[in-house]
Structure 1
Amino acid sequence: MSGINTNVVTEQLTAAGRAIEHDSFAVIDREVQSHNYRPEQWPVVRRMIHANADFDFNGLTEFHPVAVGAAIKAIRSRTTRVVADVEMICVGLSAPRLQHFGITTHHFISDPDVIDAAALEGTTRAVQAMRKAHRQGLLDGAIVGIGNAPTALIEIVRLIEEEDANPALVVGMPVGFVSAAESKALMALKIDVPWIVIRGRKGGSTLVVAAIHALLGLAEAQELGA
């Protein structure tokens, strides 16, 4: 269920681009040889490896049991959205692929009211951005992508626990040395909200984009009956 041979919208736009990407996936499969991921999970991990040539993600990446299914359901509903901690995620996602599924993207990290609230309350902009998204009703049913700010992921967990936020999926992959590993471990304790996380310090917005692109590809493959 990789979707790499049947998809149209979620493929590279040129034959040359598709050939390079497919050849890259084949190299990854050959060099990994074996893994412990389910068939629907491996395309996500493989695309993450493809994004930065780091094979450590074969093992560091962990999935809530229903993460992929929940993501595909949300994507195919054509009512979901992506809420990100930073603009880089929104810019990195393919506009045609998002448009095919009617997905909008949202980030608030640079909004003046977010900056003011962070200064006033002594928090980070990322925390206030997640709170703003929740106030606007954007988190419920959303795919939440956290690639930069551990405090954003910690706040998402708090919003789930204390304010009944209900994302369709949290892609929790903040990178860093302060609270990054801890934030992902905290997210991985959640049972009622699906998640995909990278254990430890590694992560980044590029990996969130790669994971979401893989999920979009799986959603299209399912539509096509793959």
Structure 2
Amino acid sequence: MHDTPQLLPIAAPNAIEEKSLAIIDAEVPEPRPFAGRQWEIVRRLIHTTADFEMLDLVRFSHGAVEAGLAALAAGATIVTDTEMARCAIPARRLTPLGATVRCLLNDPDVVAAATRANGTRAAAAMDAALATIPGPLIFAIGNAPTALLRLLKHLDAGGTPPACVIGMPVGFVNAAESKALLMTRADVPWIVISGRKGGSALAGATVNALAIMLLRERERESVKE
């Protein structure tokens, strides 16, 4: 006979999330490989996936978290490579910051440009975003290596770097390689899940972690006033 699983007596959504984060904290005791704001992001990625391998895979460029927070505070547009990632970032977190999220994947001009170039819509969407959306920009890429590679091509051509790149495309064809190339860059702040793992949910979760931190810090400041 099998033992009956012991369920935790928690039903409220906020309580479930708080308990989940507390479990992660307990299962990754200090000293942790990440601290402070970086840990808040990595912990949320673990929360999103229940995958503690994130501890070994997440990478931050110097000052990337601060760059992402500054961009959000300035009302950044978050550009995603998929509608799934866009939907993973709720307006209730961005609207108080004056920030927005957009995905141009299904824009008719993007579809037409991809067809003409015999390329991917994800890559064409990056071109369109860079050409038409005023900064500051945060790119949250969780699916398409071609989108990340197009951003790198933009930088190679001397284009203006975005405020931050969240590079987390998932898969087997150029996913790990595109992220490895991003991690060689010193001209743009980046947050990366190295290797093959990633996904739209993780890219969205990273933006959410940044927004949650900024909202909390603003709330603390307002209380002090």
**Does residue 71 of structure 2 align to residue 74 of structure 1?**
yes
Aligned partner of 2:88 in structure 1 is 92
Query: After alignment, is 113-122 or 128-137 more displaced?
Result: 113-122
Aligned partner of 1:83 in structure 2 is 79
Deviation at 1:114, TM superposition (A): 1.6
Aligned partner of 2:7 in structure 1 is none
SS in structure 2 opposite 1:40? helix
Aligned partner of 2:107 in structure 1 is 111
CA contact (8 A) 2:175 2:195 kept: yes
Cα–Cα, structure 1 residues 75 and 169, in superposed 2: closer, same or farther, change >3 Å? Answer: same
CA contact (8 A) 2:91 2:100 kept: no
Deviations 1:177-207 (A, max 9, x none): 0000001111111112101000000000000
Equivalent residue runs for 1:1-20 within 5 Å: 16-20=12-16
| Separation (CA, whole Å) in 2 of partners of 1:108 and 1:172 | 17
Q: Aligned residue pairs: how many?
A: 210
Dislocated runs of 4+, deviation >3 Å: none
Answer 1 or 2: higher relative contact order, Cα 8 Å, separation at least 6. 1
SS in structure 1 opposite 2:67? helix
Deviations 1:25-48 (A, max 9, x none): 110111122421131100000001
Residue ranges of structure 2 left out of the alignment (5+ in a row):
1-10
Aligned partner of 1:204 in structure 2 is 199
| Separation (CA, whole Å) in 2 of partners of 1:106 and 1:59 | 30
SS in structure 1 opposite 2:157? helix
Deviation at 1:121, TM superposition (A): 1.3
Aligned partner of 1:8 in structure 2 is none
Residue of structure 2 aligned with 1:135, choices 131, 134, 137: 131
| Separation (CA, whole Å) in 2 of partners of 1:89 and 1:219 | 20
Aligned partner of 1:161 in structure 2 is 156
**Does residue 42 of structure 2 align to residue 33 of structure 1?**
no
Deviation at 1:165, TM superposition (A): 2.8
SS in structure 1 opposite 2:79? strand
| Separation (CA, whole Å) in 2 of partners of 1:53 and 1:123 | 34
TM-score, length-scaled by structure 2: 0.89
Deviations 1:110-153 (A, max 9, x none): 12222222122121111111001111044x42111001100000
Residue of structure 1 aligned with 2:182, choices 175, 181, 187: 187
Deviation at 1:19, TM superposition (A): 1.4
| Separation (CA, whole Å) in 2 of partners of 1:92 and 1:39 | 24
Identical positions, percent: 43
| Separation (CA, whole Å) in 2 of partners of 1:94 and 1:213 | 8
| Separation (CA, whole Å) in 2 of partners of 1:225 and 1:105 | 25
| Separation (CA, whole Å) in 2 of partners of 1:149 and 1:23 | 33
| Separation (CA, whole Å) in 2 of partners of 1:163 and 1:137 | 18
Deviation at 1:163, TM superposition (A): 4.2
CA contact (8 A) 1:141 1:166 kept: no
Residue of structure 1 aligned with 2:47, choices 43, 46, 50: 50
